[in-house]
Amino acid sequence: MSNNSQTAKTVLDVKLEGQQLFSPNSLSTSAAGTVNGNQTPLGGLSGVVYDVANNVYYSLSDARSDSNGLARFYTFTANLTGISTPQVTFTNATPLKDINGHFFSSNSLNPEGFALTENATVFISSEGEVNINAGSVIYPFIKEFNLSTGKELRSLLIPQKFLPVVDDTDKSGAINTGDTQISGVRDNLAFESLTITPDQHTLYTGVENALIQDGQIATLDTGSRSRILQYNLVTGQTEKEYLYITEPVAEPPKPATPFALNGLVDLLAIDNRGTLLALERSFSAGVSGTGYTIKLYEVSLQGATDISNLNSIPVKISAIQPAHKRLLLNLNQNNLNILIDNIEGLAFGPTLPDGRQSIVLVSDDNFGALGPRPTQILTLSAEVNPIGVTITQTEDSTNVTEGGATDSYTVVLTSQPTDNVTININPGTQTTTNPNQLIFTTQNWNVAQNITVAAVNDALVEGNHSNTIQHTAISNDANYNGIAISSVNVGISEVNPIGATITQTEDSTNVTEGGATDSYTVVLTSQPTDNVTININPGTQTTTNPNQLIFTTQNWNVAQNITVAAVNDALVEGNHSNTIQHTAISNDANYNGIAISSVNVGITDNDIPLAKNADNDIFTIKSNNDKARLQVTVTGQNSSLVNELGFFIVDDAQGRIGGIAPGASAYTQAALNRAKVIFSVIANLPNGFNSTNLTQQLELNSGDSLRFYLVRNNSTDAVNAQTTPTTDVLFSDPTTLKITDFGTEGFSLAWQDTATNTNNFQNLVVKIESTNQPLPLGVNLQTQQQGELIDLRGVTELVKADFVVNREAAFNNFVGFYQVVNENGGIDTNGDSQPDILPGEAGYTQAAVRGRIAGIELTVNNQGTATYIGSLTPGSIFAPFIIVDGRPDAVLDTNFSNDPEVYFPFLGANTDKVDHLRLLGSNIFGFEDLVNGGDRDFNDVIVQVNLSKNIV
């Protein structure tokens, strides 16, 4: 039997073929007659299985480890070449052992059901015992055993409703004659049967007669309400239970009072879909012959009601569909003159040479309890056919054309039914079939019947589409009634197109940021069967109105308009483009997800990299990403003052800061709070130093608006330190600044630093322009106040530093650099990367000078130029310092009386708290060496630092 097919099967034409008989002592000299070294008679065969891989059979004895011998199963072979005279040979007996490897104790089990797995194990069911008179209640079990050793491996859980419960009716505290069983299996009428489906997933067992709470045992007038129990062998858990109604007792006993019964004694799975063979045994004492009547049924669990939730079966069972069963063979009605004995087990054997399926049955001689009886081995043959319907399409497909070609397919049954099978054909909405119903009888079941298919020639434009033809079977043959039948998928050709047409104005769509819009139209090419929604994805550079179109079965041919506008962003992108995508959603499968052309939109950019507000001095800078860069270059200088140029961000085109408008009393301070330093321009230039074309690069957010300011002859640091008045801060007005627009080349800012100066706005002239050049190394902090620093954080390579030093001073000064932890100037003295000394604290000067960068000791003769080369470690911040007319030794010796002045970018570190250091350009530092700012010329020493990476 196939072990993996999901096809339903049926058994037909069952015939009794032959038998072989064995007397109780027939194995006395064989291995099968010796169990654990003891001579043991053959007997009690209650179950049988066939091992197809090894071509042997195993048969379970119902000996209870009592006087009839140890609980055991036998091995035998059977040559069925001559099936009427099978040649059966018993070869071995395997005793059963419990989970601990011990033989089962006397009367601790009552083995009856037997099933073989593909894992070299067997399942065995025990009926247990309910002998109230003897005071004995033993629960039934279903256990798995090793096939070669007989040792128990595991147990399946028996549902509570099946376990016998005895009421202590006489209140004696013990089970005795006065008590009453109230639920569970009956004594000797429990789990007689056991089988496993070919796919090894499901195990079935059944009780021989009804549970106590489910009804009575079988009588001459009525059958008994047995239950079939279904286990999932993968999980080991029960899944379902079904009602199985046995037949009544076959014959009245003689005389009328002696023992009589009928019950379910074995099951055998035919397929994996709940089709089983069921063996019922009836016995009536005193009847001529053996008293046994044996009947074989085919049982179908498909459609049967799952009653696992019922602890007891109600008297009226109209709401319960029991398992359907069909009589296959009454073994007693045979023409072979074979006297049928107590048959309790059955198994499929090998396939016979003529293709029929062999079936082997075994009898239980009860170990002579009802008189000496032989052990009987019966052989049967049968047809095992798949239950199904075969559909054959022309060239494996069915294709039709609306108003044109038809096609056909055939239908035939795979096995002979027991009654007429009517197949109703549902052609769907897109095809017709002729005929719409087929009837197969027990005679014409194997004659293919033809069905012609045509397309419905409707008025809908659907494109090439498909249709499914369904089939439904109705029959009084339970195996065919409702059976699943393959559907037929029909390809339908149609010439009408499916799609959407997009029409653009003059074949293109063009828009302008902040300006002109454009539009295009969309219309369907054919009538849909349901609404079609077209969702419009405008992308990131355009907007569309609307963003969704809905076409119905009425307006599908009416073009709908979409207006396109450009997103007016702050990015400088140049003239660019954007793609608008379209997605169709519909219950009409032809239109759902259909491909729709995209629309490419040309966009004119209105963003200028650097623009000035026409009404004031507000500049706006933009780029093609989140950051924008501004380059400021000195183009002219004609002033006796050392002025500092800076900028600040404003909130709007009117220059407001936090709601404060230009000219308001709080505006200067608000501007200083946001101020960023660009550079200072000195008046008295040392020999060799040229301030023209000195540059500084600034990084801002794209879209920032900014204003410029000038600190006259002082610095932003000094204003914030309140060492110079805010009146020295000059904002743009007609008397201070002249702005010249160079178009795409940027702007010129020409400053007048005093009201009486007649230099015609030439005190300081700079050019401002947007740039894509990267920021020079080290300048990240130089726009900050007190930010005359070299910032190499984020750099991972050693940095080369080329120094150019100029001087216009009487003092012989010394310039060096030291490492600080952060932009506030803290110095780490213990190596934990945390500031240990802050500017202004005791010892700060000595710590800075002591920690100076080795090899960078910058001095120069007056009006001379000197160059130096050094290296700076990556990932650090470096601050410059000047020792006035002295050297580091004078600062670090123990004689504090001769310490020269040392000045830093951090005003708090300077003894006079005055600014002694100005930024003159990118990485260009100008020093003032006189106390309290002296002459504020910041030319006493000028250090230019050119930084580069990749030092070899």
pLDDT at residue 803 greater than cutoff 90:
yes
pLDDT at residue 496 greater than cutoff 70:
no
Q: What pLDDT does 952 receive?
A: 46
Q: What pLDDT does 492 receive?
A: 92
Answer for the pair 157, 104: CB distance below 8 angstroms, yes or no: no
N- to C-terminal Cα separation, the chain: 81
Q: What pLDDT does 27 receive?
A: 81
Percent of the chain scored above 90 by pLDDT? 79
Q: Using DSSP bridges, classify how beta strands 488-493 and 398-401 pair: parallel, antiparallel or unpaired.
A: parallel
What tokens appear for 223 in the block?
Answer: 């059958």
Give residue-wise pLDDT tens across range 66-88: 989 999 999 999 999 899 999 99
pLDDT grade, residue 494 (50/70/90)?
confident
Average pLDDT rounded to a whole number, residues 596-623:
89
pLDDT grade, residue 495 (50/70/90)?
low
Long-range contacts formed by 507-510: CB under 8 A, 24+ apart: 508/602, 509/564, 509/599, 509/600, 509/601, 509/602, 510/601, 510/602, 510/603, 510/604
Helix (H, G, I), strand (E, B) or coil at 320: coil
Secondary structure of 599-647 in HEC code, one letter for each residue: EEEEEECCCCCEEECCCCCCEEECCCCCEEEEEEEEEEECCCCCEEEEE
Question: What is the DSSP-derived secondary structure letter of residue 795?
Answer: -
For the residues of 405-460, what is the DSSP string, one character each? Answer: --EEEEEEESS--SS-EEEEEE-TTTEEEESSEEEE-TTTTTS-EEEEEEE---S-
Peptide bond into 609 cis (omega under 30): no
pLDDT grade, residue 65 (50/70/90)?
very high
pLDDT grade, residue 749 (50/70/90)?
very high
Q: What pLDDT does 416 receive?
A: 86
Give residue-wise pLDDT tens across range 437-447: 999 999 999 99
Residue 870's φ and ψ, nearest 5 degrees, are -145, -175
Average pLDDT rounded to a whole number, residues 908-931:
94
Residues paired with 945 in a beta bridge = 803
Q: What pLDDT does 2 receive?
A: 44
- Among candidates 18, 15, 1, 193, which has minimal Cα distance to 88? 18
In the block, which residue shows the tokens 């500031």?
835
State the Cα–Cα distance between residues 54 and 118, nearest whole angstrom.
11
pLDDT grade, residue 350 (50/70/90)?
very high
Give residue-wise pLDDT tens across range 658-714: 999 999 999 999 999 999 999 999 989 999 998 777 899 999 999 899 999 999 999
- How many helical (H) and strand (E) elements, i.e. helices and strands, does the chain have? 4, 64
| Cα-Cα-Cα-Cα dihedral sign, residues 531, 537, 542, 547 | positive
Q: How far is CA 748 from the centre of its chain?
A: 60
pLDDT at residue 461 greater than cutoff 80:
no
pLDDT at residue 1 greater than cutoff 70:
no
- Tell me whether residue 315 is exposed, middle or buried, using C-beta atoms within 10 angstroms of its C-beta: 0 to 12, 13 to 18, 19 or more: exposed
Mean pLDDT of the chain: 92
Count CA atoms closer than 13 A to 386's CA, side-chain side.
13
Q: What pLDDT does 570 receive?
A: 75
Q: Distance of CA 826 to CAs 51, 785, 829, Å?
A: 88, 16, 10
Answer for the pair 487, 470: CB distance below 8 angstroms, yes or no: yes
Q: Find all residues with CB under 8 Å of 195, minimum gap 6, and list them.
A: 115, 203, 204, 205, 266, 267, 268, 269, 276
Q: Distance of CA 16 to CAs 336, 381, 661, Å?
A: 8, 7, 113
With residue 490 as reference, give the H or E element that holds it: strand 488-493
Give residue-wise pLDDT tens across range 472-484: 999 998 778 888 8
